Amino acid sequence: MYRYRLSRTWDRDNPTLGFIMLNPSTADESEDDNTIRRCLGYAKDWGYGSILVGNLFAYRATDRSQLREYNNPIGPKNDEHLRSICEEVDMTVAAWGTDGALYNRGPEVVEMLDADLYALNRTKEGHPNHPLYQPKDAEPEPFDYGSTGGD
């Protein structure tokens, strides 16, 4: 039902890159999905040795519209895991796309974390883009909602 975090390590001598995305899909402790493969590519290209992934919503769903239908898509322990992820990693990339506006969750999490966040560009609404929809050579840039605000 919920996945609070996912990690992959290939080189313990290098730093850890964090990603906070929208919600978990099919990836688990042994299988990667397309999104995790893309995150791994960025991390390796940027010199990291591991990734640690969390999500605005911990509810596992292959269709993001299911987040609106489920009673508690955030998950009872999600905020504590997101805070922990940000403390454990060397850089955190916000990457949830426009659906971060759902329940105002994106801006809420940015405020809660009070951490330096980065993004792979922004949507036209000002949300941090999802990794699958960015070029493979995208570079992280500082992110906050600032004057663009949430939806």
Distance (Å, whole) CA 95 – CA 36: 12
Q: Is the dihedral of CA 5, 130, 109, 118 positive or negative?
A: positive
- 3-state secondary structure labels for all residues of the chain: CECCCEEEECCCCCCEEEEEECCCCCCCCCCCCHHHHHHHHHHHHCCCCEEEEEECCCECCCCCCHHHHCCCCCCCCHHHHHHHHHHHCCEEEECCCHHHHHHHHHHHHHHHHCCCEEECCECCCCCECCHHHCCCCCCCEEECCHHHCCC
- Tens of pLDDT, residue by residue, the chain (151 residues): 999 999 999 999 999 999 999 999 999 999 999 999 999 999 999 999 999 999 999 999 999 899 999 999 999 999 999 999 999 999 999 999 999 999 999 999 999 998 999 999 999 999 999 999 899 999 999 999 974 444 4
Q: Is 121 left (phi over 0), alpha (psi -120 to 50) or beta?
A: left
* Number of domains the chain contains: 1
- Answer yes or no: is 28 within a domain: yes
Residue 1 lies in a domain: no
Which residues does residue 93 pair with via DSSP β-bridges, in sequence order? 19, 118
Is 68 within the bounds of a domain? yes
**Amino acid identity, position 1:** M
Task: Please give the residue range of the domain that contains residue 26.
Answer: 6-148
Residue 45 maps to a domain: yes
